[in-house]
């Protein structure tokens, strides 16, 4: 994960130059070199469309609710970044709401590890288990001028959440994973990551760890490589939700000038092959109309459709590998969407971005080194 950004005075740090350029507030940077796969990408020779219909190996992996059929996905690879794959938002509006809900309402629970746990330890105060609900209640009471008998500690407000780790918890200090520091990897995210990787030809992917990052407008993530996993062959799968960002992808040293990509809600980046160990960063998070359009349209028709699917689909996948995760995920998605009060999530995401990066930590068959 994020290794510390090391300053380099030699003048050859082209990564840093680009990072600074895209981070700049005034004047705002020229975005004309940013690769935007939503605008006529066929004119650039550096990347090509992969039509995925022919790559499908998903007899054992039926599609989750809210994912477009794989043969309709727009998938790109960059000739100059072997192994890097970009999938333009394959999620429906309802599915995006579901994944945002999971990242904000469920994943930050005490079963996992968050940056707020360290504050808890420092000040010796026990926070509420559900950061989202506690913050929501606080905000509602504040609006109604209610005086709370147990005042809410703003250090544990959802806006202070920066990261959550899932599965094997990444240790940010010594940049390692520990076999004893692990929680159950969420079944839905596991299924999603396996589904996406199998769609692009990785059939043995085993999601074991994830970092969920929470950004606000103006937040950045400095240049780093993700090299702490023991398995560097399996890809890192990275999902974006909420507001837009610039993603830089360089080479194995910072002397290589990075490419800049425009990331929008629902987009997926896969770093495999040579690109797996390349420097990357988020120099800029910014608002656009895109999230509003993509995710905030009415989902009533979609929910009606998913509910009717669930009635006909009930036993259909019972013989398939991973069928439990598949069924549980679709079921949870339905129950969640049928009762989700989206407006507070919408408000949070109007100036925030969520990134989920999924990693396989161990090689196939490998035991955790002592
Ligand atoms: C990371 C990472 C990129 C992003 O968490 O290691 O590189 O898109 N995230 O936020
Ligand atoms: Mn990373």
Core vs surface per residue 6-39: b (16+ CB within 10 A) or e: eeeeeeebbbbebbebbbeeeeebeeeebbebee
Give the closest residue (by CA) to ligand 1 atom 6.
1
Least confident of 232-236, 282-286, 310-314: 310-314
- Contact predicate 66/91, CB 8 Å: yes
Ligand 1 atom having least distance to the Cα of 280: 7
Ligand 1 neighbour 221 (Cβ under 6 A): yes
pLDDT in tens, 116-153: 999 999 988 888 899 999 999 999 988 887 776 678 89
For ligand 1, whether the C-beta of 226 sits within 6 Å is yes
Q: Is residue 266 scored above 80 in pLDDT?
A: yes
> Any idea which ligand is nearest the CA of 248?
1
Q: What is the pLDDT of residue 4?
A: 39
Ligand that lies nearest to the alpha carbon of residue 170, given by its number in the listed order: 1
Nearest atom (ligand 1) to Cα of 240: 8
Q: Omega of the bond prior to 27 within 30 degrees of 0, cis?
A: yes
31-63: pLDDT as tens digits? 999 999 988 666 666 777 777 765 655 555 667
Rg (CA), the chain: 21
Specify the pLDDT at position 59: 53
Residue 227 has pLDDT above 50, yes or no: yes
pLDDT digits (tens, 9 = 90+) for 275-284: 999 999 999 9
Spatial strand order in the sheet of 113-114? 47-50, 75-78, 84-87, 268-271, 236-242, 352-359, 209-216, 163-167, 113-114
Interatomic CA distance for residues 304 and 302, integer angstroms: 5
- What per-residue confidence (pLDDT) applies to 56? 55
Ligand 1 midpoint to CA 281 (Å): 7
Nearest atom (ligand 1) to Cα of 357:
5
Q: Which ligand is nearest to the CA of 210?
A: 1
What's the mean pLDDT when you consider all of the chain? 89
Q: Please give the Cα distance from 208 to 184 (Å, whole number).
A: 9
Per-residue pLDDT, averaged over 359-365, amounts to: 96
- The number of the ligand 1 atom at minimal distance from the alpha carbon of 353 is 10
The alpha carbon of 112 and the centre of ligand 2 are apart by a number of angstroms equal to 19
């Amino acid at each position: 994960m994020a290794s510390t950004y090391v300053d380099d005075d030699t003048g050859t740090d082209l990564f840093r130059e680009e990072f600074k350029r895209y981070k700049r507030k005034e004047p705002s940077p020229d975005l004309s070199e940013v690769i935007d796969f939503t605008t006529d990408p066929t004119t650039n020779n550096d990347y090509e469309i992969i039509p995925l219909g022919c790559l499908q190996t998903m007899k054992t992996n039926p599609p989750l609710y809210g994912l477009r059929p794989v043969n309709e996905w727009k998938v790109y690879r960059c000739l100059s970044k072997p192994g890097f794959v970009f999938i333009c938002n394959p999620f429906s509006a309802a599915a995006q709401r579901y994944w945002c809900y999971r990242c904000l309402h469920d994943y930050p629970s005490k079963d996992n590890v968050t940056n707020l746990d360290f504050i808890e330890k420092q000040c010796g105060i026990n926070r509420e288990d559900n950061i989202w609900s506690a913050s929501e209640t606080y905000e509602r009471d504040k609006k109604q001028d209610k005086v709370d008998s147990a005042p809410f500690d703003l250090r544990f407000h959802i806006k202070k959440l920066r990261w959550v780790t899932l599965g094997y918890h990444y240790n940010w200090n010594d940049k390692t994973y520990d076999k004893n520091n692990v929680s159950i990897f969420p079944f839905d995210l596991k299924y999603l990551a396996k589904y996406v990787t199998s769609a692009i030809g990785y059939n043995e992917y085993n999601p074991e760890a994830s970092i969920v990052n929470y950004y606000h407008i103006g937040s950045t993530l400095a240049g780093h490589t993700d090299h702490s996993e023991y398995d560097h062959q399996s890809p890192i799968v990275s999902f974006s939700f909420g507001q837009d960002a610039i993603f830089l992808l360089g080479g194995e040293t910072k002397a290589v000038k990075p490419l800049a990509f425009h990331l929008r809600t629902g987009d997926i980046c896969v770093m495999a092959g040579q690109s797996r160990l390349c420097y990357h960063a988020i120099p800029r998070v910014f608002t656009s109309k895109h999230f509003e359009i993509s995710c905030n349209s009415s989902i009533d028709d979609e929910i009606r459709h998913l509910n009717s699917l669930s009635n006909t689909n009930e036993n259909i996948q019972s013989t398939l590998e991973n069928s439990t995760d598949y069924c549980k995920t679709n079921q949870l998605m339905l129950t969640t969407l049928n009762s989700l009060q989206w407006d507070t999530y919408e408000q949070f995401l109007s100036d925030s971005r969520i990134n989920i990066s999924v990693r396989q930590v161990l090689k196939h068959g490998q035991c955790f080194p002592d």
